[in-house]
Amino acid sequence: MEMHQLRYVVAVARTGTFSRAAEECRVAQPSLSQQIQKLEDELGERLFDRLRRGAKLTAHGEAFLPRAVRILEEVEAARHEAREANALLRGTLSLGVLPTIAPYLLRDVLVRFAASYPDVQVVIHEDTTAALLRQLHSCEIDLALASRPLDDATLTIRDLFSEELKLALPPGHRLARRRQPITLDDLREEQLIVMKPGHCLGEQVLGFCQRGDTAPRIAFRGAQLETIQSLVHAGIGLSLIPAMAARPDHPAAPVYRSLNHPRPQRTISALWTKNRPPTRAAGEFLRIVEAGSMKD
């Protein structure tokens, strides 16, 4: 029985298909299937029923899965303890971050971190919230930075800071010239540019508008905040942009205004699985993030 075989079994049970499990584990599907078959031969029992559109745990598989998960957790805990036994802070920190956070937050944080801990290599994984959660559960990353709402009882969620979502307007727009406070009601007839489905910021913006009984008209969906801000500048629509991503000095920058009654914001949180507490490196990284947010 090999560790990678246990990881493959857990991945198939979680995803429901051999193909998705192979993608998640970054191996060829025939290799993954062969290793699970080899494990089943060793155990003398089938763990999965191979169905036309997926795979389903057998009764033996249902009994085996919790043990496989516990073994993987124990091995990871042992690795964690071995790493922490070394008094010197060195090694690798694998960090998952949302694309709407990474380009704007990490530069200054990583400069400070590298200056204090030059022997720690930081590996950044930029992806959506759903992908980061999968990577946490498969032990591919040590820590994730994401945005609420987050609902997973197996995770420890530590709020780091909150930031305003700024209203981004085309230069010359009527609201950009307005001196009175801007409210959600003022956006009823406007077209919005938001992140595409799968990116939590897009859902946060739409949810904020819907809470104010404003049914937004979506003009465009994008995958990059820089693209969205360029489209706002071009007059295609309005958007809500995290304060950390605002670029007022850029030649193609929108005009940024604050919304009142209510003022939208998002909360940035650190996540890790409850069975894998943060390493010293991860703890020091979070300390620098929180110190920087308090300074700002």
pLDDT tens column, 149-175: 888 889 999 999 999 999 999 998 999
Q: What is the pLDDT of residue 86?
A: 54
Task: Give the residue with greater pLDDT, 271 vs 186.
Answer: 271
Mean pLDDT to the nearest integer, 194-198 = 81
Mean pLDDT to the nearest integer, 198-216 = 72
Q: What is the pLDDT of residue 87?
A: 37
**Domains located in the chain, CATH noted:** 3-84 (1.10.10.10), 88-161+267-295 (3.40.190.10), 162-265 (3.40.190.10)
Q: What is the pLDDT of residue 211?
A: 67
Strand, coil or helix: 170: coil
pLDDT tens column, 246-269: 988 888 899 999 988 778 888 999
E strands within the chain? 48-51, 54-57, 91-97, 120-126, 143-147, 155-169, 182-183, 191-195, 217-222, 239-242, 255-257, 259-260, 265-273
CA atoms within 13 A on the CB side of 143: 22
Q: What is the pLDDT of residue 88?
A: 44
Statement: the pTM of the whole predicted model exceeds 0.75: no
Using a pLDDT cut of 90, give the percent of the chain over it: 51
Mean pLDDT to the nearest integer, 63-91 = 77
pLDDT at 85 over 60: no
Q: What is the pLDDT of residue 296?
A: 55
Q: What is the pLDDT of residue 294?
A: 58
